[in-house]
Structure 1
Amino acid sequence: MSLTDQLNDILNSLGGFGPMAWLSVAFCGILITELLLLRSSAQPKTRLWLAVLSVFTVLLAGAWAALLPVRGFLFMHLLFVDNQAIFVQVVIALSGVFVLLYELLTSQPLREESGAEGRLPLEWYSLLVAMTLGLFLMTVSVNLLSIYLSIELVSICSYLLTALTATRKASEGGIKYLLFGAVSSAIMLYGMSLLYGMTGTLDLTAETFVAELSRQETGVVTVSILLTLAGLLFKLAGVPFHVWTPDAYEAAPVPVAAFFSIAPKAAAILVLMRIVTVLPVDSTGVETLAGPTITALQTPLAVLALAGILIGNLSALRQTDAKRLLAYSSIAHAGFLLVGVVALTQAGFEAVLFYIGTYLFISLAAFFLIDLLARAAGTDLTISKLAGLGPRYPLVSVALTVVMLALTGLPPTVGFTAKLLAFSALFDAYQHTGDNWLLALFVLGLLNALISLVYYLKIPFLLFFRPVPPSTEQALAGHLPKSAVWLAVGLVVPVVGLFLKPDWLLRLLTE
């Protein structure tokens, strides 16, 4: 391609790069605004301005992405914009807006003596915007170089957000997160180098990439792709790169942990789907082509999904801290997300995106509602200290019960619909391939819903069927902040509404 053609391609690509360019400019603007406001205004006023600017920035980026008319490759096949990328970008933007609003509405603990989370440092606003930028770039990356750089941007922001508060637990959690992230990045880079050595290109969409992989041994290609997936499994909290999750979630403030639970997963699962589909497949999905095909990845992915579901659920049974419980729950849900990927069909990929779209509301609502009850009790997020709060705060407690049912995957919540779509696609794939690992994942994955009942329903049981401990009775706050309550309870409405009308979301995914 001539220099003139390259310049024209760059200029033509700018229209599709609008949301990312806006986030880049806004990130710099928020940093400068913070410095200026701290010189001229009190910190509460500065916090309010920064929060409003951050909400506006992320909301505009999401709206811009949703209304973006541009589709196709950008910057000479470095990025690719399609409907799936735009859907995930909207999910990321919504999660960012919700956590920013929740932090603003609950920035003061209800009682000074309570153990509830206090205010986050002002730097968290710019870091969240920068992390959103990295996640947006992940969703449109189809080049190994752009994938790696965007993941590293997200990771660096994640490490800083985890260790942002001045506590020993935050420092330890951030260091553990950093160490595991460095290992996963090194493994991912090694896998990418193998793929580049075999194909001579970093472009996943290039015909050369697919053609050269088809000439290689199946085992070598499979191992190279699995190594490349290390960084994505790390962001997804997938096995075997899940060890950091409980410590980082426990160390991070509630809004940060809530954002970690959905936004990185949404971006990572989309990139993962793009990488696993680089191998050729015929119209029926049968390995009739020479060399490795896409079905060679089914068994390894099925093993990883099953391991995530089992480890997440079994580990959650022993937890006494709510954030650690939700962390292990997110590991299990990472496994459930991989169930749709394992099917390696269009129906499976649509089920994954549906799962992400609904998990946005379920996960954020779980974090917010539990945090509100902990604030009301003047305690930390220890599960046992939520006992007896149901009659005192019925709206929040009932909403949390609905969310726990959704996490389990029971009707009448959209958690049931999401799991139904994923496992239906998996069973269709098993009937087609006859792979016993797919059958094992199907059976054991469904049985794990019974295991999850034990720890998910433990919270509603404590809320409504156990008395308030005397120590908690004395510390109970009179009222919860109404705006924060309505935000958290409002997130539960789609959890039930999408169960009754799942076609509202499915229509967006199939257009």
Structure 2
Amino acid sequence: MSLTDQLNDIINSLGGFGPEVWLSASFCVLLLAELIMLRSSRTQARRLLAGLSVGAVVIAGIWTVLLPTRGYLFMHLLFVDNQAIFIQVLIALSAVFVLIYEFLTVQREEETGLSRLPLEWYSLLVAMTLGLFLMAMSVNMLSIYLSIELVSICSYLLTALTANRKASEGGIKYLLFGAISSAIMLYGMSLLYGMTGTLDITANSFGAELAGQDTSVVAVALLLTMAGLLFKLAGVPFHVWTPDAYEAAPVPVAAFFSIGPKAAAILVLMRVVTALPAESPLGGATAMVVQTPLAVLALAGILIGNLSALRQTDAKRLLAYSTIAHAGFLLVGVVALSDAGFQAVLFYVGTYLFISLAAFFLIDLLAQSNGSDLTISHFAGLGPKQPVLSITLTVVMLALTGLPPTVGFTAKLLSFSALYEAYQRSGDAWLLALFVLGLLNALISLVYYLKIPFLLFFRSASITQKSVPLPKAAVWLSVGLVVPVIALFLKPDLLLRWLTGW
């Protein structure tokens, strides 16, 4: 490609890169605003920065939907399609909800001198949103790696941002595991580049070259490459950082970790596993080489997440292990290696946004209502005192379990239906094991998900609890997140019609 053609391609690509440019500019503006507001009151500075951050993310999300350009950008570094736009919208929504919740609850924290997040967190969250936007569009191994590193660096800083020992320990552990997974991923990418001669995973030569390679070598290279994606997904075996990081991070940060990186990572993972052709006329590697290993990892994630959550005494650690289990459930649809499975994954991610954020927000508000920490035993007897929050949290826990009348049931039904169809096609015993044990794990998860609702309504408080008034706007925001959880169970077509229409 001549220099003129390259320049023309860059200029034409800018039409599909507007939201990312906007987020980059917003990040710079937020940094300058922090410096300018140093001499202002903390409340005034927080109000300005929160407003700028919410506005920046909302505009980026709307701009994403209205993008005039589709297809490849910057000489196949990025790719804009409906799936990328869907994930970007989910990321923008989760960032907006988290920013609004933090702003609504921070006033009480500042009045008591216990503000959970410094002002720098706004610019870091916008930068992390930018990285996630780039991840959702990345189809080149170089752009995939760089966007993951941008997300990771922001994640480490957000985890360790508060000035306490637990935050520092959680951030260090997060950093160490992130460095290991990045090194493994780079090694896998180097193997893939050596076998194919290209970094573009959507190139015809990429799949064609891998299809002619030895099956076991391709499987190892692909699994090594997936290390960074499994790390962001909190998938086994790169899940060890999750409980400590979630416990150390403030609730708004942990809530964003539970959905934002997962949404972007699962889309990139789907693109990687479909890089190989479904069939190889030469008898070489096909997409099936990663089906059984991914099924094993999905099953391990479901089992480890659920069994570990049974003995947790801290609500955030419980939700952290829950996200590990749900990472396994997300992989179920990927393992199916079919259009139905990929649509089920996107549906799962779209609904998990509301379920996960509602779980973190409601648990945080219930803990604030009696002035306690997030120890599970401290929720005893709060049901009659906070009936709206308690009933809503019970609905959310049913959704996390996957029981009707919540959309969690629909999401799991779609994923396991696609998995069973894949088993009927391939006859792989590991797919059957994942199907059976994955469904049985719903019974295990029922034990710990209903632990908090049981304490809320059927146990009296062991200590005298003080009643603390809650910000009404934060309460209604958290309760409002549960409306889609019920509505999408009654009318899943509202989302499925959009996904299947692609």
TM-score (norm 1): 0.97
Match of residue 509 from structure 1:
499
Match of residue 441 from structure 1:
434
Check if 1:422 corresponds to 2:408: no
Taking a change above 3 Å as real, the CA distance of residues 226 and 34 of structure 1, as seen in their structure-2 partners, is same
Percent of aligned pairs with the same residue?
78
CA contact (8 A) 1:109 1:375 kept: no
Give matches, 1:396-435, under 5 Å: 396-435=389-428
CA contact (8 A) 2:109 2:116 kept: no
CA contact (8 A) 2:402 2:412 kept: yes
Please state how far the C-alpha of 1:110 moved relative to its aligned partner.
6.3
Check if 1:230 corresponds to 2:223: no
CA contact (8 A) 1:388 1:466 kept: yes
1:325 maps to amino acid: L
Q: Deviations over 1:42-89 (max 9, x none)?
A: 111010000000000011111111121321000010100000000000
CA distance in structure 2 between the partners assigned to 1:67 and 1:43 by the alignment: 36
Check if 1:487 corresponds to 2:460: no
Match of residue 88 from structure 1:
87
CA distance in structure 2 between the partners assigned to 1:395 and 1:314 by the alignment: 30
Q: Deviations over 1:236-265 (max 9, x none)?
A: 000000000000000000000000000000
CA distance in structure 2 between the partners assigned to 1:470 and 1:300 by the alignment: 49
CA distance in structure 2 between the partners assigned to 1:109 and 1:170 by the alignment: 21
Check if 1:98 corresponds to 2:97: yes
Gaps of 5+ in 2: none
CA contact (8 A) 2:401 2:446 kept: yes
CA distance in structure 2 between the partners assigned to 1:480 and 1:209 by the alignment: 55
2:449 maps to amino acid: Y
1:290 to 275, 283, 300: 283
Give matches, 1:241-252, under 5 Å: 241-252=238-249
CA contact (8 A) 1:278 1:294 kept: yes
CA distance in structure 2 between the partners assigned to 1:216 and 1:386 by the alignment: 56
Match of residue 367 from structure 1:
360
2:104 maps to amino acid: L
CA distance in structure 2 between the partners assigned to 1:257 and 1:35 by the alignment: 26
2:356 maps to amino acid: S
Q: Residue 116 of structure 2: SS of its match in structure 1?
A: coil
Match of residue 386 from structure 1:
379
CA contact (8 A) 2:54 2:99 kept: yes
1:358 to 351, 354, 373: 351
Q: Residue 430 of structure 2: SS of its match in structure 1?
A: helix
CA distance in structure 1 between the partners assigned to 2:180 and 2:467 by the alignment: 44
Give matches, 1:131-170, under 5 Å: 131-170=128-167
Check if 1:22 corresponds to 2:22: yes
Match of residue 171 from structure 1:
168
Give matches, 1:40-119, under 5 Å: 41-109=40-108, 118-119=115-116
Q: Residue 108 of structure 1: SS of its match in structure 2?
A: helix
Taking a change above 3 Å as real, the CA distance of residues 73 and 113 of structure 1, as seen in their structure-2 partners, is closer
Please state how far the C-alpha of 1:111 moved relative to its aligned partner.
9.5
2:467 to 476, 479, 486: 476
Check if 1:208 corresponds to 2:189: no
Q: Residue 80 of structure 1: SS of its match in structure 2?
A: strand
1:395 maps to amino acid: V
CA contact (8 A) 1:113 1:378 kept: no
Gaps of 5+ in 1: none
Match of residue 258 from structure 1:
255
CA distance in structure 2 between the partners assigned to 1:180 and 1:95 by the alignment: 25
Please state how far the C-alpha of 1:469 moved relative to its aligned partner.
2.3
Match of residue 497 from structure 1:
487
2:133 maps to amino acid: F
Match of residue 178 from structure 2:
181
Please state how far the C-alpha of 1:109 moved relative to its aligned partner.
3.6
Please state how far the C-alpha of 1:290 moved relative to its aligned partner.
2.4
Aligned length: 501
CA distance in structure 2 between the partners assigned to 1:446 and 1:214 by the alignment: 34
Match of residue 328 from structure 1:
321
Check if 1:275 corresponds to 2:272: yes
Check if 1:303 corresponds to 2:303: no
Check if 1:36 corresponds to 2:36: yes
Q: Deviations over 1:357-383 (max 9, x none)?
A: 000000000000000000011110001
Match of residue 193 from structure 1:
190
CA distance in structure 2 between the partners assigned to 1:199 and 1:17 by the alignment: 28
Q: Residue 467 of structure 1: SS of its match in structure 2?
A: coil
1:31 maps to amino acid: L
Please state how far the C-alpha of 1:508 moved relative to its aligned partner.
1.5
Match of residue 5 from structure 2:
5
Q: Residue 187 of structure 1: SS of its match in structure 2?
A: helix
Please state how far the C-alpha of 1:476 moved relative to its aligned partner.
2.3
Check if 1:395 corresponds to 2:424: no
1:17 maps to amino acid: F
CA contact (8 A) 2:140 2:199 kept: yes
Please state how far the C-alpha of 1:344 moved relative to its aligned partner.
0.3
Q: Deviations over 1:250-296 (max 9, x none)?
A: 000000000000000000000000001111114xxxx6552100111
Q: Deviations over 1:138-168 (max 9, x none)?
A: 0000000000000000000000000000000
Please state how far the C-alpha of 1:209 moved relative to its aligned partner.
1.2
Q: Deviations over 1:328-353 (max 9, x none)?
A: 00000000000000000000000000
CA distance in structure 2 between the partners assigned to 1:422 and 1:144 by the alignment: 28
CA contact (8 A) 2:109 2:115 kept: no
CA distance in structure 2 between the partners assigned to 1:122 and 1:101 by the alignment: 14
- 211-220 vs 482-491, which moves further: 211-220
CA distance in structure 2 between the partners assigned to 1:135 and 1:223 by the alignment: 26
Please state how far the C-alpha of 1:470 moved relative to its aligned partner.
2.6
CA contact (8 A) 1:110 1:375 kept: no
CA contact (8 A) 2:212 2:282 kept: no
